[in-house]
Amino acid sequence: MDLRKPSMKDSHLMSHLNECDGFDDVYGHSVEDDYCISPSDAAQFMFDRTRQHQMSAFFNEENGIAEEGDCNITSFKQDISVGDSEKQKWPDLSELDEVRLRSCLEEIRSVIGDAVPEQILIDSVMKNEFDFNKALDDVLSSAASATGKPAADAPKPQRERKSRDRGAKRATDVPDRLRSDDSSTNNRQTGVVPQENKVGSTPVVKVVPPGTKTVNITKGFDVPPGTDSSESLKSDSNAVSPRSLSPSSGRISPSMGIEVADTLSDSKTMTVKEVKTATRSRENKVDVLTQYQQERGQSKEQLHMVVIGHVDAGKSTLMGHLLYSLGQVNKKTMHKYEQESKKLGKQSFVYAWILDETGEERSRGITMDVGQSKFETATKVVTLLDAPGHKDFIPNMITGATQADVALLVVDATRGEFETGFESGGQTREHALLVRSLGVSQLGVVVNKLDTVGWSQERFEEVVGKLGAFLKQAGFTESNVTFVPCSGLTGENLTSPPSEDMLLQWYKGPCLLDVIDKFKAPERPVTKPFRLSVNDIFKGTGSGFCVSGRVETGMVQVADKVLVQPQNEGAVIKGLSIDDVAVQVAFAGDQVSVTLAGIDMQNVAVGYILCDPTQLIPVTSHFEARIVVFNIKVPITKGYAVILHHQSLVEQAVITKLVAQLNKSSGEVIKRQPRCLTRNSNAVVELEMSHPICMELYRDIKELGRFMLRVGGITVAAGLVTQV
Amino acid sequence: MKLINKNVDKDGGGSVTLMPEESEDMWHAYNLISEGDCVRASTIRKVQNESSTGSSTSNRVRTVLTIRIENIDFDTQACVLRLKGRNIAENQYVKMGAYHTLDLEVNRKFTLTKSEWDSVALERVDTACDPTQHADVAAVVMQEGLAHICLITSSMTLVRAKIDQCIPRKRKGNVQQHEKGLQRYFESVMQGILRHVNFDVVKCILIASPGFVRDQFYEYMFQQAIKLDNKILLENKSKFMLIHSSSGFKHSLREVLTDPSVIAKMADTKASSEVRALESFYTMLQTEPAKAFYGTKHVERANEAQAIETLLISDNLFRIQDVKLRKRYVTLVDSVRESGGEVKIFSSMHVSGEQLDQLTGVAAILRFPMPELEDEEDSDHEN
């Protein structure tokens, strides 16, 4: 062979292929196919093709050979063939029962191996009504009494011990295998029962441990086909099994293992069915919640905080200083910034540079896009979103605010500055209204730059008075609003109680950090179907590309299948990372970067939603909504072209119909089909988008049912989706 | 458009011969020609000849045909007008009643015969032939990641290119991707401008965006122009104007056209006057809702009271195939004029016209308030 093709000698792939003689002699055979498949994959396929019938026939009909290592292959085969040849052997069951039965079998097999014919197992499981423990007892006792198979008996104790050793691991393995089996079954018998299909294709909770399967298969391949020596197979797999297990357990996130183990120990009587459905179906609230508790119970609470306020109120500087004081920025970097900003003659911007990173932002001295950072307080992990204050960048600010749980409103206490920011035309009002309409109810108000007015109490009181009245009117409850006097530049009252005498004279309240710490983290809707709104798309390291965004609801794991809406394209999650730390699971409220595979970068745009393929997000270009009209100059009529902001999405829309004008407080219909909507009115309108977009009803998922309407740089209305 | 011959009887019937000179004239032609009219124009037709021996040859001949229009097709972006109908004047190549599709061509005259030329149609001929109404402006509305390159002529706004790219956001310690994406975006906008804007014709190029995107882009473009020694850009540097707009979507052109500096430069083009008229309608609706109405029924009722000061009407309504309905609108226009009101016929190809179309296509600012109209349940909401 090598003589014939000396040039191929080096290639590992080719030499591998050359072993299966005659392969490369076949004309018309796609050579590329052979090249691009890795040897182990190829082996898998070859195994399937050549051994399928023999194997199933061998194990299921004749049986009697105890073959532990192969058990998952067998079950694999069984599951596949359920659809066709083996169907008659299975009792007539509902889909659910069938699944329960299969899982029971699986579990029993994991304990006793393949020693007992399958039919017996099925019968006993049926007899005991899917109760795994009883069925196992049943089988074991009958096996002991019969002692029909000495060959199987002899190694049994040994194997049993082993299976006990890895009881916990097993438990975690089982559902996985089941799931993958199920989905493949479903693939073969598509559309048998839609519901079952749904369950089967629910995103895989964990990586299917490839260790066991692949290794076994490779070994199987090594055995010359046709010999089928059970002895050699057995010894092989026995030799392999410890090794094949260790990677599989390593693959699983440890916490997962612990979780299932915990649940197992919690209830000894728990049936296999429970384990399975629990990990399998996302609808099961208890499970996701317990998992969430497990993963996040001990750690500090997550909090997303957006910093808003009028341009030049000192948001970035305040936050930059806070980060620096908390030690999030190292001295060296800080020194560099100091030198560079001095060079540009903008020394006062030195702290802002921590968050404003682009050259444009630094040279102009304003924040243009949301800057992100992270710090920890005593009880919370806070993700900081530093929003731009300039009115041209409100779209960016909205993207930031949609991700936030709480907000920090920064106002400039300097005489005149506060007034310009607060009176009409300033962003203080608009920002506050925006975050309120985006669902933020807790607000910290930082009265900044108080050093410029000599820490005057009157000034502080004046600002508090004016703002307090406005905020109340905007819909913030008084108890949720806290006022803090600060100075971002000097760092007074940021992380530690004030040291300035003038402030100490009258201020006894908490420092900024304490205020942040006191915010209540909202409840995360982890039990709802998975949704992630794409906020950014970039090339990551390695293969694929990354999208980042906030998991709005539900949870997601590596290797999950997701659907990118409204493009309706499937993709697979290759990796998840939170703050550049790779993780396995992400829950609602997390800010994650997702590495996607199986989809082109061109097909994903900012504002798209990744969702659970079984529970799709509605995609529409026409929907009905309830809107609250802000203080506007030009009335809204039908045919009014607006720009709709929904999560990170910015899209053109037209108000096609004014359905009804509503009473502001009671919600009663004042007038049907009004001619126009004037300022401060409530109404139900219909909107038509220029492209289909993802929209959730407000009552289903609040986060995705909110939107803002803007015209000509002014926010005209906030809305809630009532009907898609 | 050049008017070559006009022969309209007292009773309104007659024919007009016109020669389109540029693509915008096709738009006027499209608004003039309606189904049932006769058009005579030169065209190319494939003719099959059968010789006495039975062999057939086919060749293309240029011939003049007169057809009665049954179908009108207009491609708004390419400005091509196709008229389909039956031949009504037999000649040596084409039999009577044979179907033919005319492509109206620039610089080839055509004769349009109507059984009735109404005031709106005649006015259209006049405006189309008015040579002073040429103010070609190119506008680029942009925001980070999105840009529209538009050409604004007196009666049309054509979107020549839409650039939609995603620019990675700034993120901790990874600003390069953002900056690279921005460069790439600017490059495509610049290429778009070079490709679609004819600097010989265009008098002014507006670059509008929120924030600093326009400044950044302007800087980038001329840096590149110097680097690549692009004469066209450098010579026309004075034609560029930087304007503020709130977004990069097409309808923010409205803001651009109302910008004082643009108004000053663009003098009194149709586009900007339409925008201002619509703006004043909206202001009226806000301040005195009883003096601003929209919807055919309301406006007609106001007209009966001779209350209309300014009538805003979209040319979309005059392209309706329903003769009766068209007549209704023509009478409305005529009677408003008679009573001393001003009529603004909006081009539905402009952003303002698009919005008026959404607003039932007809709106009016009144001389005096008519609150009684407001109470009436109007039926326009259903159409």
Residue A304: closest CA among A410, A367, A371, A381? A381
Contact by Cβ (8 Å): A388, A367: yes
Q: Domain A301-518, what architecture?
A: 3-Layer(aba) Sandwich (3.40)
* Closest listed residue to residue A103, CA positions, set A234, A338, A280, A306: A280
Q: What DSSP assignment string belongs to B45-77?
A: EEEEEE-TTS-EEEEEEEEEEEEEEEEEEEETT
On whether both B10 and B67 belong to a single domain, the answer is yes
Q: Tokens 């728990």, residue?
A: A270
A676 touches chain B (CB under 8 A): yes
pLDDT (tens digit, 9 = 90+) per residue, B84-102? 999 998 888 888 889 999 8
**B179, B247, B283: residue with CB nearest A634:** B283
B-proximal residues of A, 502-561, CB under 8 Å: 535-539, 548
Of B166, B168, B212, nearest to A605 by CB-CB distance is B166
What is the rounded CA–CA span in Å between residue A417 and residue A411? 9
pLDDT digits (tens, 9 = 90+) for A130-167: 777 777 777 777 766 655 444 444 444 444 454 444 44
Q: What is the pLDDT of residues A77-87, one digit of tens each?
A: 444 444 444 44
Give the mean model confidence (pLDDT) for residues B213-228: 90
Positive or negative torsion for Cα B189, B191, B192, B197: positive
- In Å, how far is A652's CA from the nearest CA of chain B? 7
C-alpha to C-alpha distance for A187 and A516, rounded to whole angstroms:
51
Q: Which of A189-198, A557-566, A714-723 has the lowest mean pLDDT?
A: A189-198
The reply to whether B301 and B222 lie within a common domain is no
The CATH homologous superfamily of the domain defined by A531-611: Translation factors (2.40.30.10)
| Residues 6+ positions from B235 with CB-CB distance below 8 Å | B199
pLDDT for the residue numbered B172: 64
Q: How far apart are CA A689 and CA A653, in angstroms?
A: 4
Q: Do B89 and B35 share a structural domain? A: yes
Domain boundaries along the sequence of chain A: 6-35, 44-279, 301-518, 531-611, 619-723
Residue A40 has pLDDT above 80, yes or no: no
Whether residue B284 sits in one domain with residue B251: no
**Per-residue pLDDT for A217 more than 80?**
no
Q: Is a pLDDT exceeding 60 seen at residue A89?
A: no
Which CATH number is associated with domain A619-723? 2.40.30.10
Measured in whole angstroms, the distance separating CA A192 from the mean position of its chain's CA atoms is 30
So what's the pLDDT on residue B84?
Answer: 92
Shortest CA gap B299–chain A (Å): 13
User: Higher confidence at residue B272 or residue A610?
Assistant: A610
pLDDT of A313-329, one tens digit each?
888 888 888 888 888 88
Residues B122 and B217 placed together within one structural domain of the fold: no
CA dihedral B73, B77, B79, B85 (to 10 degrees): -10
By DSSP bridging, strand A682-694 and strand B240-244 are: unpaired
Quick one: residue A257, left, alpha or beta (phi over 0 = left, psi -120 to 50 = alpha)?
Answer: alpha
Range of the domain at B48: 2-129
Last residue of a domain, one of B267, B295, B329: B267
pLDDT (0 to 100) of residue B175: 73
Contact present, A580 and A595 (Cβ < 8 Å): no
Give, as one character, the DSSP assignment of residue A61: I
Question: Under an 8 A CB cutoff, do B358 and A643 touch?
Answer: no
The predicted model gives B357-383 an average pLDDT of: 72
Q: Does A531-611 match A619-723 in CATH topology? A: yes
What residue in A sits closest to B252 (Cα-Cα)?
Answer: A712
Q: Which residues of A touch B356 (CB under 8 A)?
A: 639
Cβ separation of B358 and A364 shorter than 8 Å? no
Are B67 and B123 within one domain? yes
Using the 3D structure, point to which of B111, B129, B147 is the last residue of a domain.
Answer: B129
Interchain contact, B289 vs A652, CB within 8 Å? no
Query: Both tokens of residue A58?
Result: 């061998």
Q: What is the mean pLDDT of chain B?
A: 84
Where residue A113 falls among pLDDT bands split at 50, 70, 90?
low
A249-292 confidence digits (pLDDT tens): 444 444 444 444 444 444 444 444 443 433 444 445 557 777 77
Task: Indicate which CATH number applies to the domain containing B240.
Answer: 3.30.420.60
| pLDDT 10s digits, A327-385 | 888 888 888 888 888 888 877 888 888 888 777 788 888 888 888 888 888 888 888 88
Confidence of residue B188 (pLDDT cuts 50, 70, 90): very high
Q: Which among B180, B212, B258 is the top mutation candidate for probing chain A, defined by the most A β-carbons within 10 Å of its own β-carbon?
A: B212
Q: What is the mean pLDDT of residues A91-118?
A: 72
3-state SS of A601-617?
HHHCCCCCEEECCCCCC
Picking from A176, A367, A194, the residue whose alpha carbon sits closest to that of residue A257 is A176
In tens, the pLDDT along B285-340 reads 888 888 888 888 888 888 888 888 888 888 888 887 777 888 888 888 888 888 88
Q: What percent of chain A has pLDDT over 70?
A: 65
B8, exposed or middle or buried, with CB in 10 Å at 0-12, 13-18, 19+? Answer: middle
Q: How confident is the model at residue A92 (pLDDT cuts 50, 70, 90)?
A: low
Write b or e for each residue in B288-326: b if 16 or more Cβ atoms lie within 10 A of its Cβ, otherwise e: ebebbbbbbbbbbbbbeeebbbbbbbbbbbbbeeeeeeb
Residue type, A610: L
The pLDDT value given to residue A285:
52
pLDDT at B383 over 70: no
Q: How far is A705 from chain B (nearest CA, A)?
A: 23
* Phi, psi angle pair for A577, to nearest 5°: -145, 140
| Structure-model confidence comparison of residues A261 and B80, the more confident one | B80
Output the CA torsion A97→A100→A102→A105 (10° steps): -120
Judge if B25 and B103 occupy the same domain: yes
Tokens of A597: 């595979």
Q: How confident is the model over A180-203, as a mean pLDDT?
A: 44
Distance CA B167, CA B177 (A): 8
| pLDDT for the residue numbered B173 | 63
B53 and B152 in a single domain? The answer is no
Are residues B218 and B287 located together in one domain of the fold? no
Helix axes A95-112, A167-188, angle to 10 degrees: 140
Q: Of B112, B129, B146, which residue constitutes the final position of a domain?
A: B129
Q: What residues of B are in the A interface, CB distance below 8 Å?
A: 143, 145, 164, 166, 168-175, 177-179, 210-212, 216, 244, 246-247, 249-252, 254-255, 282-283, 285-286, 289, 293-294, 354-360, 374, 377, 381
pLDDT digits (tens, 9 = 90+) for B11-62: 888 889 988 887 778 888 888 888 888 999 988 888 888 888 888 888 888 8
Of A371, A606, A639, the CB nearest to B355: A639
A635/B249 touch (CB, cutoff 8 Å), yes or no: no
Q: How confident is the model at residue A91 (pLDDT cuts 50, 70, 90)?
A: low
Point out the residue among B171, B251, B358 whose CB comes nearest to the CB of A652. Answer: B251
- Does residue A170 have a pLDDT over 50? no
Same domain, B259 and B284: no
Q: Do A657 and B294 touch (CB under 8 A)?
A: no
Which residue(s) pair with A672 in the sheet?
A: A660
Cβ contact, residue pair A712, B359, below 8 Å = no
| CB of A677 closer than 8 Å to CB of A658 | yes
Quick one: closest CA in B to A655, which residue?
A: B358
Q: Which two tokens stand for residue B330?
A: 């023509």
Average pLDDT, chain A: 71
B141 and B125 fall within a common domain = no
> Which of B164, B216, B283 minimises the CB distance to A360?
B216
> Tens digit of pLDDT for each residue in A429-466?
888 888 888 888 888 888 888 888 888 888 888 888 88
Least CA distance to B172: which residue of chain A? A372
DSSP at B365: E
Give the closest-approach CA distance of A419 to chain B in angstroms: 23
Closest C-alpha among A134, A136, A160 to residue A66: A160
pTM of the model: 0.65
Question: B186 pLDDT band (50/70/90 cuts)?
Answer: very high
As for how many domains chain B has, the answer is 3
pLDDT of residue B152: 82
Cα torsion through A102, A107, A109, A112, rounded to 10: -150
| B152 and B247 housed in the same domain | yes
